[in-house]
Structure 1
Amino acid sequence: MDTEAQHTERDPSSRAEEGSRSARVPDDAGRVPSWRRTALVGAVFVTFLLLLSHFVIQPFLIPSRSMEPTLQVGDRILVNKLAYRFGSEPARGDVVVFDGTGSFVREQPSGNPVTGLLHDGAAALGLAEPDETDFVKRVVGVAGDRVVCCDKDGRLTVNGAPVQEWYVKLGDRPSSVPFDIVVPPDRLWVMGDHRSQSSDSRDHLGDPGGGMVPVEKVIGRADWIAWPFGRWSTVPDTDAFAAVPAAPAGGHAAAAHG
């Protein structure tokens, strides 16, 4: 009898202890470790940024002096990829980023596909220099424009109107290379603001396409300087082309390359 009584007294506490143990097990088993939660949030955030940069706004690291003083080496600009998506086209004076394959670069450079994928991801986030085929320049001539350098006062002219290019690097001439070109349909004539340090349409006059950039190759318009923090601003607009008349409806007579 005493033995049975002792068993009876112990059983409730044993059941309670076992119950408390079993109650704790599902909580621990279902809990996501903190490092996994952090990794998941990070992956979602990076995916969001990549989608944003692919469709809407892409950071772009400036690797050279070709657009000084407007853009400086190390600037991270934000490229508006929707600027020309709904019927609008690049206008004279716009600073654009474009794929130079077929105009500035004849072939896509080959390389390790894995390294290339990692580089593309870093470049899309503005953490690495852009692809060798991506360029940033200013639009100087659009379809039908006749762009000539230079007039008797050393100025660039577009459709016969002289252009006061205040954005050109101080001390640079509009161009040390004379040229007289007519921009074909759906093409752009582009130049860097630091004319003596820029490889642009002038350097490809003798190549197929004559240095003209297809409008379809434009990635977007450079609208903002996002970094460094002290240079945070919009990319300045220009009224340098305000007095330029529209190209004649029938187009200009063919011009000789200079």
Structure 2
Amino acid sequence: MNSANGFAASGDGTPEEQRPRTGSEGQDKDEAAREPKKPRSFWKELPILILIALVLALLIKTFLVQAFSIPSDSMQNTLQQGDRVLVDKLTPWFGSKPERGEVVVFHDPDNWLAGEPTPTPNAVQKALSFIGLMPSAEEKDLIKRVIGVGGDTVECKGTGPLLVNGKALNEESYVYAGNTPCSQDDQGGQFKVKVPKGFIWVMGDHRQNSRDSRYNQADKNHGMVPVDKVVGRAIVKAWPINRWGTLPIPDTFDQPGLDKQQASAAASLPVAPQGVALVGVLPVAVWRRRRRAASAPTR
């Protein structure tokens, strides 16, 4: 007969759910309840960790740091063809503007690279480019040094020196050995320009081998580069290892009278996005294992 509350009663009148379990039956069930779930092996978790690393690398490449390859000799000897540099994309996101003396990467403002061959990447190169391990062959980017910012007057007479707001720059530390700061030619080497607000004037360190702002004055921006075309500042030469080093602003841009702009955001760390991504994966792996350990009953 059923009791009033609907439980099935045993022969002694005690509801079945309230009867204590004794003997091997209760012991087996208790042991099963205490048995922790077996954690996944490292090899089963590895694909998940790799996926997390790739996602982090993609996010870092998009918002923080990206690697670029130097395709020409226009920035010798500061940068050699084939060098890999890390570009800080963080400070532009926080509203920082390019400063004089910085080496910056920017999108082609108006067909500066017209006629230059564009390599066709294979599937592997496309995949590596997507996660930031290689620069994209499809993007038309250039790398030059910022000489003038909005409001500056930049001038070249004869072989130099280069003048910014009437102040002569001492460029011996970065202009290619044997080059003169200014080029004596009538195609753009001799000039006096005023940089509009929202633009920069850029030049290569290999002055006699750089198609920079000087030689693009016939374009729609008169040789200027819009600030919104700037991808970021090159902060580190990352590869090859024997050429590793930072890319600081030369002292000549600190001289009085230039009204040097102050950076509005903290400098980002000179680290590769893939390294940051791998570091980011480790806490995730530790957290997953600690969570499993915490959820397992204590023996």
TM-score by length of 2: 0.63
Equivalent in the alignment of 1:61: 69
The amino acid that maps onto 1:144 is: G
Equivalent in the alignment of 2:236: 224
1:147 aligns with 2:154: yes
Deviations 1:202-233 (A, max 9, x none): 12111111110011111111111112122222
Closer, same or farther in 2 for the Cα pair 1:117/1:185, shift >3 Å? farther
Which residue of 180, 184, 195 maps to 2:196? 184
**Alignment length, in residue pairs?**
215
Task: Map 1:227-242 to 2 at 5 A.
Answer: 227-242=239-254
1:104 aligns with 2:112: yes
Q: Secondary structure at the match of 1:47?
A: helix
Equivalent in the alignment of 1:48: 56
Deviations 1:213-257 (A, max 9, x none): 01111111111111212222211320122236357xxxxxxxxxx
Equivalent in the alignment of 2:207: 195
How many angstroms apart in 2 are the aligned matches of 1:233 and 1:130? 25
The amino acid that maps onto 2:206 is: H
How many angstroms apart in 1 are the aligned matches of 2:76 and 2:213? 17
1:162 aligns with 2:174: no
How many angstroms apart in 2 are the aligned matches of 1:158 and 1:124? 40
**Contact 1:90 1:215 (C-alpha < 8 Å) held by counterparts:** yes
Equivalent in the alignment of 2:145: 138
How many angstroms apart in 1 are the aligned matches of 2:153 and 2:60? 37
**Contact 2:104 2:230 (C-alpha < 8 Å) held by counterparts:** yes
How many angstroms apart in 2 are the aligned matches of 1:141 and 1:131? 29
How many angstroms apart in 2 are the aligned matches of 1:49 and 1:173? 41
The amino acid that maps onto 1:65 is: D
**Contact 1:81 1:220 (C-alpha < 8 Å) held by counterparts:** yes
Closer, same or farther in 2 for the Cα pair 1:218/1:128, shift >3 Å? closer
Which residue of 117, 121, 126 maps to 1:119? 126
How many angstroms apart in 1 are the aligned matches of 2:53 and 2:65? 15
Equivalent in the alignment of 1:251: none
Equivalent in the alignment of 1:94: 102
Deviations 1:17-50 (A, max 9, x none): xxxxxxxxxxxxx998987644443332222111
Deviations 1:166-221 (A, max 9, x none): 21000112232111111111000001111122111112111111110011111111
TM-score by length of 1: 0.72
The amino acid that maps onto 2:254 is: A
How many angstroms apart in 2 are the aligned matches of 1:123 and 1:178? 41
How many angstroms apart in 1 are the aligned matches of 2:177 and 2:130? 30
**Contact 1:103 1:213 (C-alpha < 8 Å) held by counterparts:** no
Report the Cα offset of residue 127 of structure 1.
Answer: 2.3
> Quick one: percent identity of the two aligned structures?
41
Equivalent in the alignment of 2:10: none
Closer, same or farther in 2 for the Cα pair 1:124/1:225, shift >3 Å? farther
Report the Cα offset of residue 86 of structure 1.
Answer: 2.4
Query: Gapped runs of 5+ residues in structure 2?
Result: 1-37, 184-188, 260-299
Closer, same or farther in 2 for the Cα pair 1:189/1:124, shift >3 Å? farther
**Contact 2:63 2:93 (C-alpha < 8 Å) held by counterparts:** no
The amino acid that maps onto 1:59 is: A
Deviations 1:148-175 (A, max 9, x none): 1126x62111111111112100011223
Deviations 1:46-76 (A, max 9, x none): 2211111110111111121111111112221
Closer, same or farther in 2 for the Cα pair 1:89/1:179, shift >3 Å? same
**Contact 2:67 2:135 (C-alpha < 8 Å) held by counterparts:** no
